Amino acid sequence: TQYIGEIKIWDLSTIRFTQVSVVNLEITIAHSLEVFKKKNTLVVAGEYKCWKKPNQFDTMFLVDIETKDILSTWKDRAVVQSTQKVRFVKGKYLLACGFSNGFLKLFSCDKKFNCIRIVKAHQGKINKLHVTRINQHPFCLTESDDKRIRLWNINSQITALRSWNFPQKTIIG
């Protein structure tokens, strides 16, 4: 996107890249994109900035890639800074989101956004999050402006396992 809300989807499987789709959304800055390939959907998280609407909510869109229809939106007072898919079992995914107010939220995204877990993860905004699997179990790392990195166990609850503090400097992803 270049301040016009245009999201282009490309097929990178061949030497010559092919544009698959173009989706136009009411968004000026896309902070994060996530594709759910099996469901043929795209999550776009970002913000809408306009001089006339300074209190506009920040938004996530769930878009059908083929039809370009918006299936669902999520409006929040905090900016979604980072997103990543979380695979619980084969073929079943959730979406982890780090917000500018320090919250970590977990969503199901079948045909609409459904927030299923929330935790106050940091005192500052969550700049980055990364989900990984160890022995088929999902874990999440979050990095924040509060100069901490935290490791989370993602199960029926979101449980903090470890925290590392870097008081000397701000971490960049």
Give me the pLDDT at residue 93, please: 86
Closest CA to 128 of 75, 168, 95, 83: 83
Give me the pLDDT at residue 9, please: 84
Residue keyed to tokens 């669902």: 72
Q: How far apart are CA 71 and CA 113, in angstroms?
A: 9
10-residue averages of pLDDT along the chain (173 residues): 75 85 83 88 83 65 91 90 84 88 92 92 93 87 92 87 83 57
Give me the pLDDT at residue 25, please: 86
Instruction: Tell me how far apart the terminal alpha carbons of the chain are, to the nearest angstrom.
Output: 22
Give me the pLDDT at residue 150, please: 94
Q: How far apart are CA 164 and CA 123, in angstroms?
A: 14
Residue positions counted in the chain:
173
Give me the pLDDT at residue 134, please: 84
Q: How far apart are CA 34 and CA 13, in angstroms?
A: 18
Give me the pLDDT at residue 72, please: 93
